[in-house]
Structures are given as C-alpha cells and as structure tokens.
Amino acid sequence: MHPAWGQVFMRKMISAGIATFLFTVIFAILEPDLFRIHNNLSLGARLHEAAGMVCIYMMYAGPVIYVYGSMTSLLSDIIAHYVAPRRWVRLTVSAVFHCVFGLILYQVSLLAAALFYLSDTIFSVVRRKPLTPNITVVSVLLPLGLWLASWIYIRITG
C-alpha cells in the first residue's frame, strides 16, 4: 500500500532540505574556487573559500533541488511504484531514475540527485510516525540557516 500523497510530498520537502544542505556543503568543499583561479590552496584557505561559496551555491542549487529535484523524485517513485512489485526492487528502480534525471548537468546534478535519493530513502525507511506540516516547515530552516551562517561569515571575514 502506498502512503498518502500528502505524506509523500512532505517527505520530499524534508529530503530536499537535507539534500540542499548536504549538496551545498560537499560541493563547496570539493569546488571552492568556481573559476579555478587558485590551484594550490592550503586547507585553511580552501575551507575559507568554501565557506564563502556556500552562500552562492545555496542561492542557485536550493531552488533547483526543491523544484526540479522534488518533482523528478516524485516521478521516479511513481514510476517505480507501478513498475516494481517488491519494495527493494522499487528502491532500485527509483535509484536508476534518480540517476537518469540527475544527469542533466553531469557530475554536479548527479551528486545532488544521489544525495536527494539517499536522504529520501533513509528518511522513508527510518521514519515510522506520520509527518506533520510543522516538521516540513522546520526542515526548510536547515538550508536557510546554512545560507545565513555563510552570509554572516562572508560579512565578518570579508
């Protein structure tokens, strides 16, 4: 039996918040210099650049993950639900579709799609109680808090 669509939508929004937070942090650490001007950065300089880039990456990646990621994840789950009879087969089919939809910008969007899929799958397997709108709204504060912390860091350190 498939859970109610309201619960699925709230789970997707929570997963989008988690994926946005993780993607922004990981991508900023992996690619702190967007234009690749500095090749040899020390660890401290690399983390400083990454903390500054979190704010910029969040502005662009956040809306895309929330809109495109949530819709394609929902579509992947719907397709997997109707194609696969068993739960673990559905998870595999859903993972394949997440990867296919995540190939739009190659490695960048594939990383976001993988993080979205992992957070959504872990959240759906672990969470047993019904979700509430309050939890969904609070999950939006996770990426917003990261964005605000990065913005404050940029203002303080320059």
Tens digits of per-residue pLDDT, 142-154?
999 999 999 999 8
Q: What is the pTM of this model?
A: 0.89
**What value does the mean pLDDT take over residues 36-60?**
82
Instruction: Report pLDDT for 48.
Output: 86
Instruction: Report pLDDT for 1.
Output: 42
Cα–Cα distance, 56 to 60 (Å, whole number)? 7
Best CA proximity match to 110, nearest among 122, 101, 123: 101
pLDDT tens-digit profile of 57-104? 999 999 999 999 999 999 999 999 899 888 889 999 999 999 999 998
pLDDT band at 2 (very low <50, low <70, confident <90, very high): low
